[in-house]
Each structure stands twice: as structure tokens, then as C-alpha cells.
Amino acid sequence: MIKPILETRRRRLVLVAAAAIAITLAAAIFALHHGSSGTEPAGQDRNLTAYKKMIISDYTTSMDALNATFNASNQCDTVQNTGCPEALAAMVPHWQMWLNDLNSYQTPSMFVVIDGQLRRHLTEKIAELNAAVAFQRERNESGFNLAVETSSYEITWFGVTVAAVEGTYARVAGSYHDAVNLAKEALDACINSAPASRKAGCDALSHETCTGAAAKNCAHDVESAETQLQIFVVALLQDPAPTALAKQSAQLQAHLVQADIALLAIADALLRGDSAKVAAGQRSYKAAITAADADASP
């Protein structure tokens, strides 16, 4: 089992996501039930077990290092903290090790989607840490604050992902159809600018300007939208599609992944102050969630 610190972060993120898409998550703990495919089920089971152990171990190791590095005397909370660059840089090898381990494993088929997301978020985490170091050395307070905030969000994102892989994340939906309907309802609200969607940030990302002082608000909306997408992906992981609907599920998840890629591109562009790439990411995000919404339609 992962450490109590994950449970605290996981519960907080569940509440945020629930408010964002107007659902209540069940409290039951999800136990993974799946059937291995292929000609060597025993080998695949061993690979699945090893993969999950690697995910949990690398997460735990990284969190232990994080807690040891950032303590009462070094919270890295301001650009004036001279010990911050060294502390931030010290964490990069831990996240890179996790990424390297992912690259060395054969990803079990049931985790292909969430594994791909994890790799991209780890890559962005490393980029955010490096950006924070550079901003601190330049005494760029706004850039530093933005990089630290976005980097901190990834910690929560990792926690939910690890719990989903481990099989301890609270069940999101009751069935595959419920999972699709959850996504459909929320995506409809985002695309049609329903009032509830504004809480999730997805509506604002369609039209807001993300330059200058507005970058921080935009980053918040990106994080909110990422939380929403993560809940959809976890729900589909917990309740795989029946064979007859496998094609629909694959298309829906592919477009959800495209939306997540667009959000990461926006986050990266915000750190670089590249308004053109931010705008391009916003357009890509809107296109991806529109396609996902169509996939989720009956």
C-alpha cells in the first residue's frame, strides 16, 4: 500500500473533481479484476505484478526524497530562498529514474493509456523543476511561482495515478456505461459553456487570454481541466468496455489523451511565455474534448 500522504492528497483531489463535474464518488475501494490475454497468461500476470510494484516503489521513493528534501528549514516557497535551486535540482534524478523504469518495462495492455499519460506528466514535471531553478536564479518571481505551483500539482496527479494502478483508488462509476455517461455529461457542459463547467476550468480555456498576469489563472484552469480528464481515464480503467464497445472506448480514450497532451502543451508554453503556443494548445484542447464528446454519444 502507498503511504498515508497519498491518501490525503487523493481525497482532496477527489473532492475537487467531484465539485467540478457535479458527481459524488463512491467510497468503496476498487479491486482490480481483469483477464490476461495472449498465449502466456502466467508470464503476463508476472509482468503485471512487477509493473505495479515498480510504479508503487518509484512513487514511494520519490515522495520519500521529496519529504526529505523539502523540510521546515527549506520549503522553497519564495524566490529569495537561496537553497531552493539545489533542492529542486536534487529531485530531478528521482523523477527521471521513474521515467527510465517505465521505459524499461513492457506496459500491461490495461495500463497503456494511463502509462502514456504518466510518462508525459513526468517529463513535464522535470521541465517545471528545471524552469523553477532557472527562474529562481534570475530572481523572476512570477515565473518561479508559476513553475513551483504547476510542479506541485503534478505531485497530486501522480498520487491519483499510482492509486489507480495499484487498485486502491475509490471507484468512480458503477459500470462502463456509467463511466462514459459521466464523461459525456461533463464534456457537454464544457463545450456548451454550462455554468457548472466553469468550475472545472474547461470552459475558460476555450476563450481566455493567458498572457502576462493572466497566466496564473490560466494555469489554474489547466490543472482543473487535467483533474477532470484524469477522473474520466481512471473511470474507464476501472470499468473496461465490453468487447462490443471496445472500439468506442479506444476512440474516446485516444481523444481524452489528446486533450491531456494539449493541456500539458499549454502548461509548458505558459512557463516559456509563448502566447502563440498557448493559443495553439487551447485550440487543440477544444478540438480534442469536442471529439471525445462525440465518442461518448450513444
Is it the case that residue 294 has pLDDT exceeding 70?
yes
Share of the chain above pLDDT 70, in %: 82
Closest listed residue to residue 230, CA positions, set 286, 162, 152, 290: 162
End-to-end Cα, the chain, rounded Å: 38
CB-CB neighbours of 53 under 10 Å:
11
Q: State the pLDDT confidence band at 205, using cuts at 50, 70 and 90.
A: confident
Residues 162, 176: Cα–Cα separation, whole Å = 21
Decide: 166 and 56 in contact? Cβ < 8 Å: yes
Whole-angstrom Cα distance, residue 195 to residue 189? Answer: 8
How high is the pLDDT of residue 110?
Answer: 95
DSSP class of 185: H
Q: Does the pLDDT value for residue 144 go beyond 60?
A: yes
* Beta bridge pairs of residue 170: 29
Helices (H) and strands (E) in the chain, counts: 9, 0
Residue 29, classed as helix, strand or coil, is: strand
Average pLDDT estimate for 202-224: 88
DSSP line for 72-138: TTB---STT-TTHHHHHHHHHHHHHHHHHHHHHS---GGGHHHHHHHHHHHHHHHHHHHHHHHHHHH
- Alpha carbons 88 and 128: distance in angstroms, whole number: 10
In the prediction, which pLDDT does 5 show?
37
pTM of the model: 0.83
Q: How far is CA 126 from the centre of its chain?
A: 14
Q: How confident is the model at residue 14 (pLDDT cuts 50, 70, 90)?
A: very low
Residue 168 has pLDDT above 90, yes or no: yes
Residue 74 has pLDDT above 70, yes or no: no
What gap in Å lies between CA 64 and CA 87, rounded to an integer?
14
Q: What is the mean pLDDT of the chain?
A: 84
Rama region for 212: left / alpha / beta (φ>0; ψ in -120 to 50; rest): left
- Label residue 193 left, alpha or beta by phi (over 0 means left) and psi (-120 to 50 means alpha): left
Count of Cβ atoms closer than 10 Å to residue 22 Cβ: 15
What local confidence, expressed as pLDDT, does residue 82 receive?
Answer: 81
**Does position 38 have pLDDT exceeding 60, yes or no?**
no
Q: Are 147 and 273 spatial neighbours (Cβ–Cβ below 8 Å)? A: no
Q: Collapsing DSSP states into helix, strand and coil, what is residue 71? A: strand
Distance CA 148, CA 132 (A): 6
How many other CB atoms are there within 10 angstroms of residue 248's CB atom? Answer: 16
- How far apart, in whole angstroms, are the C-alpha atoms of residue 197 and residue 187? 8
Q: Which of 65-69, 86-90, 195-199, 204-208 has the lowest mean pLDDT?
A: 195-199
Residue 276 has pLDDT above 60, yes or no: yes
Considering only 65-69, 119-123, 139-143, 199-203, which range has the smallest mean pLDDT?
199-203
Tens digit of each residue's pLDDT (9 = 90 or more) over 80-125: 888 888 888 889 999 999 999 999 999 999 999 999 999 999 999 9
